Amino acid sequence: MQDPVLSIKNLDIAYGAVTVVHDFSLDVAAGEFVSLLGPSGCGKTTILRTIAGFIGAASGSITLEGQDITRKPAEQRDVGIVFQNYALFPTMSAFENIAFGLRVAKRPMAEITQRVTDIARASGIEEQLHKRPSDMSGGQQQRVAIARALITGAKVLLFDEPLSNLDSKVRVAMRREIKRLQAEFGFTAFFVTHDQDEALSMSDRVIVLKDGHTQQIGTGRVLYEQPQNAFVCKFIGDANALTAGLAKALTGQVRDGTVFVRPENTLMNAGHAGVPACVTHIEYLGAQVRVECQVGAETVLATMYGFECPPDLSVGQDVSLSVRPGAWHIFPDTPS
């Protein structure tokens, strides 16, 4: 990796006596898009707020463009933030919101007008500049928030679950828009989310976090196809966790630990000998069909393309299950 623009080393973050983030380290290259992904309460927003300077680090260091910013107040860090609710100042127009950072820096009015107009044009919100946040759509507010964070020349933009307030269609559109803006302005993005689709679709790398501990860092494909532990395997996508007996019957594996099989690798009536099962639930999702089957006391999920699913498949029907050869992961049992 070239010299990282943002470097976090051995970061511990504590609320009082309770440490909530443990030994977090990460190097982010210039122009890279990294996402911090994890369930609620895992510490991802806490890390973002520590980088921003709103929470103090208990130990460790944060370096931005080679400069140690660990103890700097938030107002001197030069990182941009896009908040979950955008935090656009409701009393100001879009223009005033975007110009805020330049006014703080006491830039001349002519320069402010020029730069705000330029960034608004590039962000596709030139027509909205006179409007108050309450008069704009979620997508437009999002663009204003990004423009506001970028205008002072911040090299790193922190995104705190910025798409969670949007409806699903706009959310997909905004993912692309954020990527387009990143390509346009070349900023480095640090994106916090609990939505794996968001993280996988936008990021160069994803950091999976659980209880303040890093679980795995890698591209979306690596995380999905080569998970390093049971948590990542279950958290990224779906996975059937098979008990020893069923695992032996389906995969032939007799090993300590739990065998995980992705639903798309669970085959139904594949034409060769399988494990007898009974269909208990069918979810038709258009392109995909999810079928839940009962094998003894266990439930196994299989997914397939709609055209692969027999049209007469029904609940209560007996089927046989098998697993695509070699398509499983085995991880040692860990206390839950």
Partner 1 sequence: MRGTFRLEQMAFLTALGLLAWFLVTFLIMPLITTFYTAFFDSGSLRIGEITEDLSRSRRVKQALLNTAWMTIATTFTVGLVGIFQVAALEYFHVRGRSFLKVAFAVPLVFGSVVAATGYKFTYGPSGIVTQILQGIVPDLPSDWFIGGHGVLYSQTFLLTSFYYLFLRAAMRRVDYSTVEAARSMGASEIHILRRVVLPVIMPTLFAVMLLTIYTSTVSFAVPEIIGGRDFTMISQIILVLNALNRPDMAAFLALFLGFFILSIIVLMQWIEARGSYIGGAKTPVPIELKRIKNPAANVAFHGVTYLLAFIYVLPVALVVAFSFAPAASIGTEVFPSSFTLSNYIRVLSGGAAFEPFFNSMRMGLLAVLLGLSATLFAVPIMVKHKNWMTRALDIGFFLPWVVPSVLLAIGLILTFDTPNLMVGRAVLLGSFIILPIGYAINALPLMVRFLRAAFMGIDPSYDEAARSMGAGGLYRFRRVTMPLVAPTALLAGGYTFNEMLTEYPLSAFLYNVNNRPLSIAILDSDKSTDPEQAAITLVYAVLVMAFSLVVVLSAERLSLGKGPKTNNV
CA distance 4 to 63: 9
Position among 101, 162, 220, 227 found at the interface with partner 1 (CB under 8 A): 101
Residues 102-121, interacting with partner 1 (CB under 8 A): 103-105
| DSSP annotation string for 246-310 | HHHHHH----SSEEEE-GGGEEES-SS--EEEEEEEEEE-SSEEEEEEEETTEEEEEEEEGGGS-
Residue closer to partner 1 by CB (options 54, 284) is 54
Whether residue 102 contacts residue 116, with contact meaning beta carbons closer than 8 Å, is answered with yes
Q: Give min distance, CB of 199 to partner 1, in A.
A: 22
90 lines the binding site for partner 1 (CB under 8 A): yes
Contacting partner 1 (CB under 8 A), which of 89, 184, 197, 276?
A: 89
Stretch that binds partner 1, among 75-83, 220-228, 243-251, 323-331 (CB under 8 A): 75-83
As beta bridge partners, residue 320 has 276
Q: Can you give the C-alpha Rg of the chain in angstroms?
A: 24
Contact window for partner 1 (CB under 8 A) among 33-41, 99-107, 223-231, 278-286: 99-107
CB of 79 to partner 1, least distance (A): 7
The residue assigned the tokens 């260091």 is 61
Alpha helices in 53-93 (DSSP H): none
Using CA atoms, how far apart are residues 195 and 39, in angstroms rounded to an integer?
9
In this structure, the number of other CB atoms found within 10 A of the CB of residue 105 comes to 12
Residue 80 binds to partner 1 (criterion: CB under 8 A) = yes
Q: Does 224 bind partner 1 (CB under 8 A)?
A: no
Query: CA triplet 142, 148, 151: central angle to 5 degrees?
Result: 135
* Strand pairing report for 329-331 and 258-261: antiparallel
In the complex, the smallest distance separating the C-beta of residue 102 from partner 1, rounded to whole angstroms, is 9
Q: Which is nearer to partner 1, 153 or 310 (CB)?
A: 153
Residue 335: its H or E element:
none
User: Does 76 sit near partner 1 (CB under 8 A)?
Assistant: yes
| Residue from 24, 100, 187, 235 binding partner 1 (CB under 8 A) | 100
Binding mask 132-171 for partner 1 (x = CB under 8 A): ----------------xx--x-------------------
Q: Which is nearer to partner 1, 109 or 278 (CB)?
A: 109
Burial of 213 per CB tally in 10 Å (0-12, 13-18, 19+): middle
Interaction between residue 53 and partner 1 (CB under 8 A): yes
**# residues near partner 1 by CB under 8 A:** 29
**Binding-site ranges for partner 1 (CB under 8 A):** 52-54, 73-81, 83-85, 87-92, 100-101, 103-105, 148-149, 152
